[in-house]
Amino acid sequence: MAVDASTRLVIAVGDPQPGNRNDTIVYRTSGIDQKLAGRPVMADGGHRGNPEVIIPYRKNRDGSPLPVWKQDLNAQHRTVRAHPGQDEDLEDPARLPPRRPHIDHCRSGIANLHNIALTW
């Protein structure tokens, strides 16, 4: 599920995937990568391996601290990236395995209700 950082509106919902896949694989196989093509996408560190998304810098392997400029970019990343926050219920259906053929309609409905609640 993709959320606009400035408006917090849901702008794209990918197809449901089994819950045992990592973020990188789900991003590629759910179709959300095509829905967001050409847009800047910020994600958490779980999306390593997707060169088209912006993720925070990782700690150095040797344990040395990150350079200040990388720490500053990570701080900006945390403030810009949209977090569902109290709306974490939006993510729960995304982690469910697609047991029912209508789960994607439920997720889209939840996303639409979320957007309506924000703009009401």
The whole-number pLDDT of residue 99 equals 53
Is it the case that residue 96 has pLDDT exceeding 50?
A: no
8 Å CB contact between 107 and 114: no
Could you give the dihedral angle defined by the CA atoms of residues 73, 51, 20 and 90, in that order, rounded to the nearest 10 degrees?
60
Sign of CA dihedral 39, 42, 48, 51: positive
pLDDT tens digits, one per residue of 11-60: 888 877 776 777 888 888 888 888 888 888 888 888 888 888 888 999 98
pTM of the model: 0.60
Is it the case that residue 94 has pLDDT exceeding 70?
A: no
Q: Rounded CA gap, 44 and 38, in Å?
A: 19
Sign of CA dihedral 76, 118, 4, 88: positive
The whole-number pLDDT of residue 86 equals 43
∠ CA 21-24-27, nearest 5°, is: 90
